[in-house]
Structure 1
Amino acid sequence: MATQIFTLVGVLIGALTSYFATVVAERAKFRREMATRWDERKLDTYIQYVTCIKEIQRAALEAGRAHDAGTDASDALQEMEESENRRSILFETFVLLSNERAATAAHTVNQQTWKLLRTARVPSNGMAEIRPIPLVEALNVLHEAARSDLTISKAVVVR
């Protein structure tokens, strides 16, 4: 009788150990899947946001060239405004998904973008007044923060 009890206890301990090991493994798998899912969504949002910024910058520069040439800049300004509207919507998703460092960098990019927009909207401002350099510098900081948030390291160049 004692051997049967020991056998039964051994089977019970084995079953419980197997159950807990499976639960721990499934939880770890679920966490990895969720992290991957959100990282993919973050990456898509980051790419779309930066693309809008680049479209705004390009359209602002086109508007500046048009002002310098004395031609109509309305198409470039309209494209710039459409990109700004998309950027505004994407920014909300960006902030919801990103870490604090990336969100702060995106706020700085927004401020530099708004300066560029204000300058490009003035009909008398041409290329000399439109300076995208502060925006480019802010984008570089944002790129670094986004890579850090996504745990993407910089590629090492071997020579």
Structure 2
Amino acid sequence: MDTITQLVTIAAVVLGGLTTYLTNSLMERSRRKDGLRLRWDEKKLDAYADYVGRVRTSIHIAVLLYELREEIRMMPRTEHELAMELTEASGAQAMAFERVMLLAEDEVIEAAHAIQEDLAAIGWQARGVVEGTLAGWRTLHTDAFKAINRFHEAARADLGVQGRFEGERHTARGLLLPGARNADGATDRD
């Protein structure tokens, strides 16, 4: 073998080795990046689900408190007990909101802020800080559930979930609120 053939062979081996090394490095980098993205997506999903769960818990307790205060429902717990439970649930929900703030994209954060505003209004009326009618109470909840649906849509987009989420259809499915009472005490849901 002459020198040129040996140099071409050595160059081919070196080029093949470099190509293999670069390909493996890029694949490993891509694999690590995908693994990191997957871990963050899992964290986001957990944070989003926890937040919505805590929001719904706060709303549920606010409804119980409001119904007790307005004498729509009687229950074994006192107004004070429910107010304390709402305070605890609101604190846990606020911590979940902070976790969303750390992980989410702008659209999700904006949707979460809208939920926070609606929850504050619900909490104020449930506690009696702000007076309002049952119709106004229903409007607060409708707004809150619309905000939750916007949050769902933004979170789904952030997580890359395929498919459509029809927020208006879900909002219209009815709230778990008491019916409006007429003069003889019957509600529009009786």
Cα distance in 1, alignment partners of residues 65 and 132 from structure 2: 8
2:35 to 30, 33, 36: 33
Alpha-carbon distance, 1:90 to partner: 1.5
Q: How far apart, CA to CA, are the structure 1 residues paired with 2:130 and 2:47? A: 35
1:64 and 1:126 in contact (8 A); partners too? no
Letter in 1 for 2:153: E
Deviation at 1:24, TM superposition (A): 0.6
Q: What's the Cα RMSD here?
A: 2.1
Greater percentage in helix: 1
Query: Which residue in the other structure is 2:161 paired with?
Result: 152
Residue of structure 1 equivalent to 2:123: 117
User: What does residue 130 of structure 1 align with?
Assistant: 137
Equivalent residues of 1:64, 1:120 under 8 A apart: yes
* Unmatched tracts of structure 1, length 5 or more: none
Q: Helix, strand or coil: the match of 2:70?
A: helix
Partner of 2:21: 19
Seen in structure 2, the aligned counterparts of structure 1 residues 45 and 99 have a Cα distance that, compared at 3 Å, is same
Matched, 1:141 2:150: yes
1:94 aligned residue: 100
- Per the alignment, residue 66 of structure 1 pairs with 68
| AA partner of residue 113 (structure 1) | L
Counterparts of 2:59 and 2:153 in 1: how far apart (Å)?
20
In 2, the alpha carbon distance for the partners of 1:114 and 1:155 equals 29
Deviation per residue, 1:89-148 (Å, 9 max, x gap): 121110111110000000000000011111111179688253311111110111100001
* Matched-pair contact (CA < 8 Å) for 1:68–1:127: no
Q: Is the 8 A contact 2:66 2:127 kept in 1?
A: no
Q: 2:22 and 2:86 mapped to 1: Cα distance?
A: 57
In 2, Cα distance between the equivalents of 1:94 and 1:123? 28
Flag the structure with more relative contact order, 1 or 2, with Cα contacts below 8 A and sequence separation at least 6: 1
TM-score (norm 2): 0.76
Unmatched runs of 5 consecutive residues or more in structure 2 = 166-190
Contact 1:67 1:126 in 2 (8 A): no
Across the two proteins, how many residue pairs are aligned to each other? Answer: 156
Q: 1:2-50: per-residue Cα shift (whole Å, max 9, x none)?
A: 2111111110000000000001101110110011000000000001111
After TM superposition, the runs of 4+ consecutive aligned structure 1 residues lying more than 4 A away are 123-127
Residue 57 (structure 1) aligns with: 59
Contact 2:122 2:137 in 1 (8 A): yes
